[in-house]
Amino acid sequence: MITGTGIVKTFKQRGNVLDKREVRALRGVDFSIPKGGAASFIGESGCGKTTLGRIIAGLETHDEGEIVIDDVAMSSLKPKARQPYFRRIQMIHQDPYSALNPTRTIFQTLQAPLRLRARQTGRDGKWIDERASEVLSLVGLDPGSVLGRYPHQLSGGMRQRVVIARALTVDPEMLVADEAVSMIDVSLRLGILALLKDLRERLGVAVLFITHDVATARYIGDDGDLYVIYRGQVIEHGKVDTVISDPVHPYTQSLLSAIPVLHGLEQPGTQPVVPLSGLDESLSDGGCLFARRCPFHTERCTSELPALGRSEGVPQEHACFYPERRDVVARPMSGV
């Protein structure tokens, strides 16, 4: 179980010495990912979703708040003592082309972490060979044909599977997949998503999925949680299917309205929400972060910041004074 409370991260902009501007990447984010569970962080680029993922994987520090892994607060440990905890959270990066060393065969790539693991658990070289084959089988690759190959001999989908296999060598508690399918060929994407779901079911490994493509979040498990992040704040949070089929925050609604409709197969929603303007990070004058772009904003929205919470009749958490259901999602056409 991994939880975070009140995570705040501020980046100081380099360059201008006199006018030091700060970028608020995360403004007090809470999350909780149960053992073997699934969670997705959704948002546009620059919303802080990747920063949050990196903080969770121990690759980035944060300024305020607490990360708790298996009931141990990370702030109570010295940096070195945190390592074994963060080692069990493995990152899967977006680009499988740059994530593998091109001069090493797949076996050599898998061997390095396995050797470390063998030393920790007092196992021998034979175990390393067996385990290398085993993790490749787990990700749906044929060890016999893949082990001796170099990354350039594999397709993007196969490389991403190798990256996942490498992450599995350390028996992780959780995989953090940051846009893990966006560079994979369309026909193979679902295969990677299905694999992540399958690993959850078979190995009990939790999956944190970070993406701007909302639809893919459903495919790692419909029991998962969805966090919609806007400018460093979670603005809607609930079960994946609840948030996707019944969003109440106008930002979530505009994200879903923006997804292309497969005309001929799908019927567009009848109440699409289009933001009034493009994203402007410089605007910060109290009030709701989305107010300036929100077609439904009122006076209150520009002066008061809505906190993430619940309201009557809405199953998910949201940060909006005026939560309202709108028909924004395309539905399959009947009879197709």
Partner 1 sequence: MSKQAPGVRIDGLTVTYNNLPAVRNVSLELPPGTITGIVGESGSGKSTLALSLLNAVQPPGRIAAGSVEIDEIGNVVEFAAEQIRRVRGSQIGYVFQAAQNSLNPLKTVGKQLLDLGRSHGVEDLRGLVRDAKDLLGRMGLDGARVLDSHQHELSGGMRQRVGIMLALVLNAHLVVLDEPTTALDMITQSTILKIIREVHEERGLTTLVITHDIGVVAEVADRLAVMYGGRLVEQGPTREVLASPQHPYTRGLIRAIPRLTGDIDEAQALPGRPPTLATVPAEGCVFRERCPLRMDVCDTVDPAAEAYGTRIVACHAVKVKEHA
Applying CB under 8 A, which residues contact partner 1? 44-45, 155-158, 185-191, 193-194, 212-216, 218-219, 222, 244-245, 254-266, 274-275, 278-279, 329-333, 336
Give how far Cα 183 sits from Cα of 11, 141, 198, Å. Answer: 27, 19, 21
The nearer residue to partner 1, 20 or 263, going by C-beta atoms, is 263
> What burial letters (b/e) apply to 145-170, b meaning 16+ CB within 10 Å?
ebbeeebeebebbbbbbbbbbbbbbb
Nearest-approach distance from CB 258 to partner 1, in angstroms: 4
Q: Output the smallest distance, CB 113 to partner 1, in A.
A: 26
Task: CB nearer to partner 1: give 118 or 279.
Answer: 279
10 — phi, psi (to 5°)?
Answer: -125, 125
In whole angstroms, give the CA distance from residue 178 to residue 208: 8
Q: Smallest gap, in angstroms, from Cβ of residue 312 to partner 1?
A: 26
Alpha helices in the chain (DSSP H): 49-56, 79-87, 106-121, 125-138, 143-146, 156-168, 186-203, 214-217, 240-245, 250-257, 299-303
Q: How far is the CB of 16 from partner 1 (least distance, A)?
A: 15
Do 2 and 69 form a contact (C-beta atoms < 8 A)? yes
Give the residue with the Cβ less far from partner 1, 62 or 231. 231
CB of 264 to partner 1, least distance (A): 4
- Triad 161, 164, 168: Cα angle to 5°: 135
Q: Which amino acid is at 89?
A: I
Q: Which is nearer to partner 1, 112 or 215 (CB)?
A: 215
Which residue, 112 or 276, is less far from partner 1 as judged by CB? 276
Report the residue number, 58 or 157, with the smaller CB distance to partner 1.
157
